[in-house]
Chain A
Amino acid sequence: MKSTSRLGAWVAIAIGTLYFLLPLIATFEFSLKMNRDGYSFEAYKVVLADPGFQATFGYSTLMAVLTIIVGILLVVPTAYWIQLKLPRLRPLVEFITLLPLVIPAIVIVFGYLKLYNSSSWLPLTGNERATDLLLMCSYVTLALPYLYRSVDAGLRAIDVRTLTEAAESLGASWPSILLQVIFPNVKSAILSGAFLTFAVVIGEFTMASLLGRPAFGPYLQLIGSNRAYEPSALAIIAFMVTWAAMGLIQVFARNARPARKTA
């Protein structure tokens, strides 16, 4: 009885491993074949030396960092305030932060184009800087579900009220309560939300493409339709970036646990 169920479990894991590793192996193998006379990292050299890669990857990295900063400044005070003063609003705020998972990104950006076109009351698509701002806000929107959930879970794990009252009784102002008491206590939750946001934003295609900004996602698509070996190299690079972001989440989550126990 037991051994047959264990065999079934091994079979399931083996098939799963095969399905998930084959595309990675195939992509990696293909990315090495740019030189006719054998395997080489030529495709990676070509990609990394491409000014288009550097420019778009840099642009998307900057966008991701700005998204994370603005997202944290928006989400942490809100989640804190909801927890401390307005718990009745929690279901509403949770519902709103879930909406970006319900409304497809393409629909949201279509709405932006209708609402903020160059002849509207707030012409955010009028010039490049304004469109960058709109793109960043669209990324903050996409990141809301991940950021809010992770920060809210972090805040629930600490005693927000006691910490706040202790800081207040020592004469701390609101900004210093947030920055010096609350932020450090939910640092690992914020960081895991931030890395997830980075993974989502770095290769995002729909928003950037339809807002016409030179991000990494549209660059990937362009290379994909024009080149043979570079797309595979880019896919491996993108996979490693995602893996790095998820790996860092694990590291911070592991570091946070013992710290919380001793506190």
Chain B
Amino acid sequence: MSTSPDSLTHRPAPGAGQIRKGLTLSSLNWLGVAPFFLFALLFLILPTTTLMIGAFQDANGHFTLGNIARLFDDNILSAYWISFKVSAASALGGTVIGLALALAAIQGGLPQWIRPTLMTFSGVASNFAGIPLSFAFLATLGRMGLVTVLLRDYADFDLYSTGFSILSFLGLTLTYLYFQIPLMVLIVTPAIDGLRAEWREACESLGGNSVAYWWHIALPILWPSILGSALLLFANAFGAVATAYALTGSSLNIVPILLYAQIRGDVLHDQNLGYALALGMIVVTGLSNAGYIWLRSRAERGRE
């Protein structure tokens, strides 16, 4: 925003409800936001920056790329790979199923009460993560879980003989979906609400069927929102610690758990390698969030 000289008036015209850009910035004005910036600096920016710097230092504080290079060790690379797979699978599943649920509730012609119920439940379930969630899935799909036992007793089907385990890649993905799907419902709903009824009517009056409407109109409008949401879900799963830790202990080698173990007991025997591990996580979640923000601004621009 450029500031023209005459916009530098201290007070706006009488009765102006709109906030004028480019007010005179006295030091008093800055004082008003100082506590916030001080807080952000102390508890968000400095701690993260110091880790990033540590990732490029050796134990004596000299510059090195050795920590970054060691991220490509087999053990660590496989942790990143499993993390990537779990996050990608739960993001993909969450995106598709969440979108289907949101579409069904908003545009499916279902009774009125379905939508607010789904929204409230999504608010609860997207926050029902962490340790209680892992307890719930152990009680459902664990070795003695309700579904496992019911399948064994009534359908004569031993889930665990198929190689399934709640402590595995598939088990963790299924568990993550419990907070990923509701999160998708919450973030994609505004985009679906943005689809105007006139567009469908226009399509129908031109002889287009439902498939044509979705393929040529709705999906092209929705896709930045859908892809952006998928990226947000990916980052959400990539940084999650508690659910995986309580579910699998240290048996599944994913990055957040490796980092947790490193902080608790210095398993890598190298503090600076831990910093590099953290930097790797920030890069992954940062890139996917940047993608989300970019796609969201595209989607908003498209709607204007």
Taking Cβ atoms with an 8 Å cutoff, the residues of A that contact B are 1-2, 5-6, 8-10, 12-13, 16, 19-20, 22-27, 29-31, 74-75, 77-78, 81-89, 93, 96, 98-115, 137-138, 140-141, 144, 159-162, 196, 199-200, 203-206, 210, 217, 220-221, 224-225, 231-232, 234-235, 238-239, 242-243, 245-247, 249-250
Q: Which residue of B lies closest to A89 (CB)?
A: B33
The reply on B285 being an interface residue by CB < 8 A is yes
Can you list 16 contacts pairing A with B, beta carbon distance less than 8 Å?
A22-B140, A27-B140, A74-B35, A84-B19, A99-B45, A102-B286, A104-B241, A104-B282, A105-B241, A107-B282, A111-B46, A115-B46, A205-B246, A217-B242, A232-B139, A242-B127
Q: Which residues 156-214 in B have Cβ within 8 Å of A in the complex? A: 177-178, 181, 209-210
What range describes how many residues of B lie at the interface? 35 or more
Taking Cβ atoms with an 8 Å cutoff, the residues of B that contact A are 1, 12, 16-17, 19, 21-23, 25, 29-30, 32-33, 35-36, 39-40, 42-48, 50-51, 54, 97, 100-101, 103-105, 107-110, 114, 118, 120-121, 123-125, 127-128, 130-140, 145-147, 177-178, 181, 209-210, 235, 238-242, 245-246, 249, 256, 259-260, 263-264, 274-275, 278, 281-282, 285-286, 289, 293
B139 and A30 contacting across the interface, CB-CB below 8 Å: yes
Q: Which residue of A lies closest to B243 (CB)?
A: A205
SS class, residues of chain A in contact with chain B? helix
Pick the most buried of A20, A87, A217, A232: most chain B CB atoms within 10 A of its CB: A20
B178 and A13 contacting across the interface, CB-CB below 8 Å: no
Residue B50 contacts which of A87, A115, A243 (CB distance < 8 angstroms)?
A115
B19 and A217 contacting across the interface, CB-CB below 8 Å: no
A159 and B17 contacting across the interface, CB-CB below 8 Å: yes
Q: Which residue of A lies closest to B16 (CB)?
A: A161
B97 and A232 contacting across the interface, CB-CB below 8 Å: no
